[in-house]
Structure 1
Amino acid sequence: MTAPTPDKPQASLAFVLLLSVLVVATCGLIYELLAGTLASYLLGDSVTQFSTVIGAYLFAMGVGSWLSRYVKGDELSIFVRVEVLIALLGGWSAAALFLLFPLVSDFRLALYGLVLAIGAMVGLEIPLLIRILQHRFAFRELVSNVLTFDYVGALVASVLFPLLLVPQLGLIRTGFVFGLANISVAIALLLILPRSRRNAADLAAALLVTASLIAGLFLAERLQRWSEVAFYQEPVIYARSTPYQRMVLTRRSGDIRLYLNGNLQFSSRDEYRYHEALVWPVLGRVANPAQVLVLGGGDGLAAREILRDRRVQRVTLVDLDPEMTRLFRDTPQLAALNGHALASPRVSVHNADAFRWVKEARGQYDAVIVDFPDPTEFSLGKLYTEHFYREVARLLAPGGVMTVQSTSPLIAPRSFWTVATTLEAAGLSARGYHAYVPSFGEWGFTMAAHGAIPPLAALPPGLRFLTPQSEPLLYQFPPDMARRPTPVNRLDNQALVRSFAEEWGPYEG
């Protein structure tokens, strides 16, 4: 038995309904990706955040599909109202979550409440569409059409989100754009319906939601700034989402601070303490540091310290994010902060994944400075693993010395000493040390070398923090920071990421 041949208005309605499957599938996945990405930015540990957000979202979709059985009669009107509500909640979701984060005591409650609400309504969409279309297509053709458009929509969303939407629009604008896509479906269906079947209240609600989404789209940058000012409690002078991270610069009374995904990376008032402690205990132990490798350090501050040593002929700096190195090379105030290090002819910048770059690199380096962000998630944790350190050790010349920034030995002693244990498992000798940086508190580093770590030969004059007398004190640990048994951080266990979350969790909640 074949489906009846529809008349022209009915054919137009069927086409719009099938097209709406593509739109709602794309929008539904975008809202899911927005929630997961935003949660990983604000809460850290992207694996946990994406896993729980996706799980909650799919569960809610199942609940919505189950609830669709209780929708009886006039499915098209119900579908239009669901689209209006999804457009409102989904379109404003990123902006609302950013604004709520600094204001509510339990952000996860707001996050998962919104995820569940949007997921349940998205779960209603496909069952309702199938019921609306069942009299317009044969069953086999109906299922084929709906599932095809649904899966194609998912592909469109998954490709557009990382490659175009986040880097070009940012999370907040992306939410508003796809909210407008959702509301466009509702308005198109309302306009195709005969006047006798149009609901004036539905059309008015759709137009109001459209107006709010357009306003939000134009105010997106301001909304982002409001949320970040409330979060950082400091004037924001620069903010941008790149494909890799959210970068925010603040300035108060001459103090410039860099935050990546909400985590402080440096304060211009005391960063010299951190970077002198990171660089000079290494260079002061190497007889001739002609070739120096910096992994991370895209702000150029470690490179600034290295270039003060006239023995250094070449600095190879590997940082993932080209926007970071461009910003700190081309912005006059930031370039002045790093002494224009990234524009120096002695510095070669490579924007690449350090994990892959190190594996493919050849040659040897007299000193290696490893300055990655803390291991808040597994994508960063892989840069602290035995596998990675073995590859770095391959590049370290005989007599060379390397150091790794290793988080706070006071707040996270297990995490700190895990770095030393892992370096030793990679065949290196390791020695922990620490320095007090007011913006961070007690901060830790781990030095490593092939064989015994050589003694300090000299420090240059004019350092603001380190002296030949104070440098030996960096290696003294009181009992609350003393070494303790820790596991090796491997790719297949990521023990460091777990211990870091446990130890820092109480301070970040």
Structure 2
Amino acid sequence: MTEQTTGRLKVRLVDGLLILIMAVLAGCGLIYEYLLSHYAGRVLGAVEHAIFATIGIMIVAMGFGAFAARKIKDAFSGFAWLELYICFIGASSILFIAAAIGFTFHLPQLISDTFNLPADVLPRGGWVEQLHQIARYLPYVSAACLGFFIGIEIPLIARVREALYQKHLTHNAGTVYGADYIGAGIGAALWIGWMMSLDINQAAVITASTNLLIGFLILLLFWQKIRWRLLLTACQLLMLAFVIVLSAYGQNWMNSFTDMLYRDQVVLQQQTQYQQIVLTERNLQLNNNPTQTSVLQLYLNGRLQFSSMDERIYHEMLIHPVMASAPKHDSVLLIGGGDGLALREIFKWPVHSVDMVELDPMMISLFKQPRQFLPIRLAKQVIELNANSLSDERLNLMYADAFNQVDQLVAQGRIYDVIVVDLPDPNHPDLNKLYTNHFYTRLQQLLNADGVLVVQSTSPYHAQDAFIAIGKTIADANFSAVEQYHQNVPSFGQWGWSVAVKQGLPVSERLKHSLAAQTMPVIKTQWLTWPIVLASFNFPQGFYKNYVNIKVNRLGSQQLFNYHDQAWRKQQGMVNLNSNQQISP
């Protein structure tokens, strides 16, 4: 083999490695987009807008980065240093954002403690509030910085390839962009199949480590062509130490910063493929009395799902009106309710079987076997709270997306006496489909002739249009009678539910007849009484005056999501630092 042939082969091997590097970097870039957009949705609340805004900002910044690449004279040195910058920003940005948000959230208390201010005059407005809001929008700043540097990568790799071949490459752009697109697809697959289930800081460190590794590889491949290579080597070694520290301690720091966003002590943080689960405890022990239980609160993606202080109001109002109005209770379908609290109330009735559809297995594991995740004291409290309902032999668990699982149940010809839909609010497009007329029509097909459906329907006070839209959408699914009722749950404020029957009398009339005939079963409750239930069907004057203009939530329309999002944004304009969480069961 001649020297010329050997040289040609070496060039092609290096070029193949460069194309592979481009594909890997494209995957890293896409994962950074997902990481930042996911975290932005968590801290800003408006999930869809945050995700789209973050990705949009990164793409625009990448365009500016591509233009800025023309200013870099030495493509080899520029590319090697570039990966160092991306590694630093990618590894540390989410941790830095969490620290900034946590600090600004606690700033009023720090000022109060420093100047010995009374608790009722905490400085929560003005520049303190503005500083906190700026911190919450830092994910967009990080997205712009990362996007800018990522945008420089493709032009530099294209120039390195031409310098390698020492000629203009006709298909250079196509080759580089082809590797970029394929790599991005692989990055998306890695995100969905693996990295979504990791803690967000761990995912960021793994991605940043890939950038650092590529930086080392570029330094070795083009050692003679890179300027300031000894300085670069020293910086890379320092960055390696930095990444190792973040890998070892970053998640603990992240948890500490996240804990600062909750008023109570965080006793569990768990990131699953589907959501972030946080359980907090408010210790109410007085005079070291061990019999006094504490208050447990569950948050999913930063949104309150229940407080043990008043969850019985919510769950008793959710379950007992629908169970009391159903002639039979043999077979029940429960969609959601992975904490087992709705089940606890269902099993107070003579139920033969309950089919439960839950998306996240971790929710069931946490509330069925809490000793695996919590101290014995808290685990015992969790079991007492849900009455160990998730271990009942009458329960049949199905881990699935409810939208698809309901279709399977219809295909199997399953029939239920009662259907309970206890899902989070439609604050994300993925949840919106579970509030459509299509979904409710399928549920209607699963009910027996005199069966009853109840649906958690958000707040009639904070999200009035969304609340009414849920009832109107259910009515569009061929139910003969649909009613709505509401009650105050202190942790959430005014909350509402929708009930529907396939045929026969409406639920409120059924309850009245049972009370009048004194045939109402005696069910042990801590808060609910039947006069309270009947009164809850009444709404303020003019509550439904806009009913005609409210649109039905059809599959693909995102109408309900928009109603809920508009209400949430309006509410955000009225809250201050005292309301650290957007609440929704």
TM-score of the two chains, using structure 1 as the length reference: 0.93
Q: Report the secondary structure of 1:369's partner residue.
A: strand
- Cα distance in 2 for partners of 1:109, 1:286 equals 49
Q: Report the secondary structure of 1:33's partner residue.
A: helix
**Structure 2 equivalent of residue 488 of structure 1:** 552
Q: Which of 325, 328, 335 is 1:285 aligned to?
A: 325
Identify if the C-alpha distance between structure 1 residues 416 and 195 changes in structure 2 by more than 3 Å, giving closer, same or farther.
closer
* Correspondences of 1:135-150 after superposition (within 5 Å): 135-137=163-165, 139-140=169-170, 142-143=172-173, 145-150=175-180
* Correspondences of 1:229-268 after superposition (within 5 Å): 229-253=259-283, 254-268=294-308
Q: State the Cα deviation string for residues 378-420 of structure 1 (Å, max 9, x = none).
A: 1111111111111111111111111111111111111111111
**Do 2:196 and 2:274's aligned partners in 1 also have CA atoms closer than 8 Å?**
no
Once the 2 structures are TM-superposed, how far is the Cα of residue 372 of structure 1 from its aligned partner? Answer: 0.4
Q: State the Cα deviation string for residues 327-374 of structure 1 (Å, max 9, x = none).
A: 111115233321111111111111111111112212211111110000
Q: Report the secondary structure of 2:355's partner residue.
A: strand
**Structure 2 equivalent of residue 22 of structure 1:** 23
How many residues are matched? Answer: 504
* Correspondences of 1:403-414 after superposition (within 5 Å): 403-414=454-465
- Cα distance in 2 for partners of 1:99, 1:481 equals 43
**Do 1:93 and 1:114's aligned partners in 2 also have CA atoms closer than 8 Å?**
yes
TM-score of the two chains, using structure 2 as the length reference: 0.81
Once the 2 structures are TM-superposed, how far is the Cα of residue 143 of structure 1 from its aligned partner? Answer: 4.6
Q: Report the secondary structure of 1:213's partner residue.
A: helix
- Cα distance in 2 for partners of 1:159, 1:16 equals 22
**Do 1:44 and 1:377's aligned partners in 2 also have CA atoms closer than 8 Å?**
no
**Structure 1 equivalent of residue 343 of structure 2:** 303
* Correspondences of 1:1-400 after superposition (within 5 Å): 6=7, 14=15, 17-72=18-73, 74-102=74-102, 103=104, 104-107=132-135, 109-137=137-165, 139-140=169-170, 142-143=172-173, 145-167=175-197, 169-192=198-221, 193-194=223-224, 197-253=227-283, 254-309=294-349, 311-332=350-371, 333=379, 334-361=382-409, 362-400=413-451
**Do 2:330 and 2:417's aligned partners in 1 also have CA atoms closer than 8 Å?**
yes
- Cα distance in 2 for partners of 1:473, 1:93 equals 51
Identify if the C-alpha distance between structure 1 residues 331 and 109 changes in structure 2 by more than 3 Å, giving closer, same or farther.
closer
- Cα distance in 2 for partners of 1:469, 1:151 equals 63
- Cα distance in 1 for partners of 2:246, 2:572 equals 30
- Cα distance in 2 for partners of 1:330, 1:383 equals 28
What amino acid maps onto 1:366 in structure 2? D
- Cα distance in 2 for partners of 1:260, 1:221 equals 18
Q: Does 1:440 align with 2:495?
A: no
Q: Report the secondary structure of 2:530's partner residue.
A: coil
Once the 2 structures are TM-superposed, how far is the Cα of residue 499 of structure 1 from its aligned partner? Answer: 1.0
Q: Report the secondary structure of 2:261's partner residue.
A: helix
**Do 1:304 and 1:338's aligned partners in 2 also have CA atoms closer than 8 Å?**
yes
**Structure 2 equivalent of residue 505 of structure 1:** 569
- Cα distance in 2 for partners of 1:421, 1:8 equals 69
Q: Report the secondary structure of 1:134's partner residue.
A: helix
Once the 2 structures are TM-superposed, how far is the Cα of residue 307 of structure 1 from its aligned partner? Answer: 0.4
What amino acid maps onto 1:324 in structure 2? M
- Cα distance in 1 for partners of 2:555, 2:135 equals 30
- Cα distance in 2 for partners of 1:33, 1:10 equals 35
What amino acid maps onto 2:357 in structure 1? V
- Cα distance in 1 for partners of 2:455, 2:475 equals 13
Tell me whether 255-264 or 449-458 shows the greater mean CA deviation: 449-458
**Structure 1 equivalent of residue 121 of structure 2:** none
**Structure 2 equivalent of residue 468 of structure 1:** 530
- Cα distance in 2 for partners of 1:461, 1:53 equals 50
Once the 2 structures are TM-superposed, how far is the Cα of residue 21 of structure 1 from its aligned partner? Answer: 1.6
- Cα distance in 2 for partners of 1:247, 1:480 equals 39
Once the 2 structures are TM-superposed, how far is the Cα of residue 140 of structure 1 from its aligned partner? Answer: 4.4
Q: Report the secondary structure of 1:194's partner residue.
A: helix
Once the 2 structures are TM-superposed, how far is the Cα of residue 194 of structure 1 from its aligned partner? Answer: 3.5
**Do 1:377 and 1:497's aligned partners in 2 also have CA atoms closer than 8 Å?**
yes
**Do 1:45 and 1:378's aligned partners in 2 also have CA atoms closer than 8 Å?**
no
What amino acid maps onto 1:180 in structure 2? S
- Cα distance in 2 for partners of 1:508, 1:210 equals 41
- Cα distance in 1 for partners of 2:226, 2:158 equals 23
- Cα distance in 1 for partners of 2:463, 2:428 equals 15
- Cα distance in 2 for partners of 1:47, 1:413 equals 21
Once the 2 structures are TM-superposed, how far is the Cα of residue 45 of structure 1 from its aligned partner? Answer: 4.6
Tell me whether 220-229 or 413-422 shows the greater mean CA deviation: 220-229
Tell me whether 36-45 or 219-228 shows the greater mean CA deviation: 36-45
**Do 1:249 and 1:258's aligned partners in 2 also have CA atoms closer than 8 Å?**
yes
**Structure 1 equivalent of residue 125 of structure 2:** none
**Do 2:433 and 2:556's aligned partners in 1 also have CA atoms closer than 8 Å?**
no
- Unmatched runs of 5 consecutive residues or more in structure 1: none
Q: State the Cα deviation string for residues 166-212 of structure 1 (Å, max 9, x = none).
A: 21x32111101111111122223224403984433222222222222
- Cα distance in 1 for partners of 2:100, 2:439 equals 38
**Do 1:4 and 1:136's aligned partners in 2 also have CA atoms closer than 8 Å?**
no
Q: Report the secondary structure of 2:164's partner residue.
A: coil
**Do 1:410 and 1:442's aligned partners in 2 also have CA atoms closer than 8 Å?**
yes
Identify if the C-alpha distance between structure 1 residues 90 and 260 changes in structure 2 by more than 3 Å, giving closer, same or farther.
same
Q: Report the secondary structure of 1:256's partner residue.
A: strand
**Do 1:60 and 1:116's aligned partners in 2 also have CA atoms closer than 8 Å?**
yes
Once the 2 structures are TM-superposed, how far is the Cα of residue 108 of structure 1 from its aligned partner? Answer: 5.6
- Matched-pair identity in %: 33
What amino acid maps onto 1:24 in structure 2? L
Computed over aligned residues only, the root mean square deviation of the Cα atoms, in angstroms, reads 2.3
- Unmatched runs of 5 consecutive residues or more in structure 2: 105-131, 284-293, 372-378, 515-519, 574-585
Q: Report the secondary structure of 2:24's partner residue.
A: helix
* Correspondences of 1:414-433 after superposition (within 5 Å): 414-428=465-479, 429-433=481-485
Tell me whether 280-289 or 183-192 shows the greater mean CA deviation: 183-192
Identify if the C-alpha distance between structure 1 residues 302 and 120 changes in structure 2 by more than 3 Å, giving closer, same or farther.
same
Q: Report the secondary structure of 1:232's partner residue.
A: coil
Once the 2 structures are TM-superposed, how far is the Cα of residue 260 of structure 1 from its aligned partner? Answer: 0.6
